[in-house]
């Protein structure tokens, strides 16, 4: 059983179902509105836990109803929440414009997520050191993620960076990264290379390795995922399904991947195939956390 620690965001999602995105100046009726737990960090942690990883979380919530909701969701997934602290700011929120096509646009209010401090991470140092993998994203302050990676590397823990939302990453953080998992948009933002096929995927991956990253997975949505390690590379196709809501697809992929991946990355292709299946199940349901499958559900659909 892998031990996974996630440093990341905790958001309550408000899902607004619409036929299409409104044009500038246009007023439209929504088809429905609902709330669900989310945040890239929470999604990834719950995906890891539901797939069998012993999972811990480092994050920050407000002392409000949304914070209590997120804490309960993590505890229901048997995630260690001892390193979640409270902020005077409200719990993070995301507003998801979900179109009939299944595609979404997301607006995020960081709230308490943006107040996660180096002191908070220091208090979680023992949890990081006891992990096989430490995962972070960019919905909490980048300085905290970099510091956590430094602590992880000192303890011999493998680091996974999900560079989302897309932004420039300091070279020193890339050099601390054992695995980076951008989608095609994020890969282009990091490398300047337009990612559209396997050849351009490999070019982008090689550039990321030249910048100090050890291993690369570039996710390509409904097409699948490209991987490159020090010794091998390849492409793992996605499973073809009818998408209802793609909100948590990438997070489900990464969380489930971390539950199966060996720390020497020798089983990376098999782990990606498992993660692709998990993601394909997630997009067939509405909501982020409610859509994330369990290990049993993934295994039953192989």
- Per residue in 216-244, pLDDT (tens digit) is 999 998 899 999 999 999 999 999 988 88
Tally of CB atoms within 10 A around 147: 18
Please tell me the predicted confidence (pLDDT) of residue 32: 93
**Helix locations, 1-141, DSSP H:** 40-50, 65-76, 118-123, 125-129
CATH assignment at residue 260: 3.40.1190.20
**Are residues 119 and 111 in contact, defined by beta-carbon separation less than 8 angstroms?**
no
Q: Annotated binding residues, as ranges?
A: 11-13, 39-43, 139, 183, 219-224, 245, 247, 250-251, 276, 282, 285, 287, 291
Average pLDDT of 172-184?
97
In this prediction, residue 231 carries a pLDDT of 93
Residue 230, classed as helix, strand or coil, is coil
- The annotation places the binding site for ATP at 183, 219-224, 250-251, 276
Residue 295 has pLDDT above 70, yes or no: yes
- Could you tell me if residue 272 is inside a domain? yes
Query: Distance (Å, rounded) from C-alpha 255 to C-alpha 257?
Result: 5
Q: Mean pLDDT of all residues in the chain? A: 94
The verdict on residue 247 lying in a domain is: yes
| Model confidence pLDDT, tens digit, residues 45-79 | 999 999 999 999 999 999 999 999 999 999 999 99
Q: Is residue 270 part of a domain?
A: yes
Q: Give me the domain span that covers residue 258.
A: 3-10+40-59+118-300
Average pLDDT over every residue of 258-282? 97
pLDDT at 99 over 80: yes
Asked whether residue 54 is domain-assigned, the answer is yes
Helix (H) or strand (E) holding 149: helix 142-154
Q: Which of 234, 181, 185, 248 lies closest to 208, judged by CA?
A: 181
Task: Please identify which of the residues 120, 132, 251, 264 carries the catalytic annotation.
Answer: 251
Annotated binding site for K(+): 245, 247, 282, 285, 287, 291
pLDDT given at position 104: 84
Q: Is the pLDDT of residue 290 over 80?
A: yes
> Residue 302 above 70 pLDDT?
no
- Assign 261 a pLDDT band (cuts: 50, 70, 90): very high
In this prediction, residue 115 has a pLDDT band, given cuts at 50, 70 and 90, of very high
The answer as to whether 78 is a domain residue is no
Q: How many residues does the chain have?
A: 302
In a domain, 81, yes or no: no
Q: Is the model's pLDDT at 103 over the cut of 90?
A: no
Kindly state whether residue 96 falls inside one of the protein's structural domains. no
* 105 close to 78: Cβ distance less than 8 angstroms: no
Please give the tally of structural domains in the chain: 1
Whether 193 is in a domain gets the answer yes
Give the sheet arrangement for strand 3-7, strand by strand: 80-87, 54-62, 3-7, 133-136, 158-161, 179-180, 215-219, 224-228, 233-237
Examine the residue annotation and report whether 64 is marked as an active-site residue of this protein.
no
């Amino acid at each position: 059983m892998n031990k996974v620690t996630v440093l990341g965001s905790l958001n309550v999602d408000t899902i607004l179902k619409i036929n299409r995105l409104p044009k500038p100046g246009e007023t439209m009726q929504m088809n429905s509105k609902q709330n669900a737990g989310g945040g890239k960090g929470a999604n990834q942690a719950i995906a890891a836990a539901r797939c069998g990883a012993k999972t811990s979380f480092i994050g920050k919530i407000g002392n409000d109803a949304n914070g209590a909701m997120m804490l309960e969701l993590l505890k229901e997934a048997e995630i260690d929440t001892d390193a979640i602290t409270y902020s005077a700011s409200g719990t993070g929120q995301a507003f998801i414009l979900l179109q009939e096509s299944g595609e979404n646009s997301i607006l995020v209010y960081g709230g308490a997520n943006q107040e996660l401090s180096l002191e908070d991470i220091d208090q979680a140092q023992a949890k990081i050191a006891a992990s096989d993998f430490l995962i972070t994203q960019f919905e909490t302050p980048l300085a905290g993620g970099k510091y956590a990676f430094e602590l992880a590397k000192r303890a011999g823990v493998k680091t996974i960076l999900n560079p989302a939302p897309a932004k420039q990453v300091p070279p020193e953080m890339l050099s601390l990264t054992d695995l980076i998992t951008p989608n095609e948009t994020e890969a282009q933002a990091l490398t300047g290379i337009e990612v559209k096929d396997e050849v351009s995927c490999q070019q982008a991956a090689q550039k990321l390795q030249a910048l100090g990253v050890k291993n690369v997975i570039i996710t390509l949505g409904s097409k699948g995922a490209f991987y490159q390690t020090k010794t091998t590379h390849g492409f793992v196709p996605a499973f073809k399904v009818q998408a209802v809501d793609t909100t948590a697809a990438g997070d489900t992929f990464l969380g489930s991947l971390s539950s199966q991946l060996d720390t020497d990355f020798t089983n990376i292709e098999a782990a990606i195939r498992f993660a692709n299946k998990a993601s394909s199940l997630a997009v067939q349901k509405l909501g982020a956390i409610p859509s994330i499958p369990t290990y049993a559900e993934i295994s039953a659909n192989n």
